[in-house]
Amino acid sequence: MGRTLYVTDLDGTILNHDQRVSKESIAILNRLMEKGLLLTYATARSIVSSTVVTEGLRITTPVITSNGVSIID
């Protein structure tokens, strides 16, 4: 059986009103990824900007940035 990759946007989706991933979300998502969940994000933000707002999130899959222009592994 195959695995599912979950992809989220950042702005208006996973970021809170402070433009960050909340500590609670980070804890939950990191715990799920430790158990095998495949998670990444696709965003219009640059790699620098997206790295800042997702600090603490331990994503091990490639991320899509700059409106799809870059895929960063």
Q: Rounded to 5 degrees, what are φ and ψ at 10?
A: -100, -70
The reply to whether 9 belongs to the active site is: yes
From residue 43, how far is each of 4, 8, 31, 56, 64 by CA, in Å? Answer: 19, 8, 23, 17, 6
Among the listed residues 9, 11, 18, 73, the single catalytic one is 9
Active site residues: 9
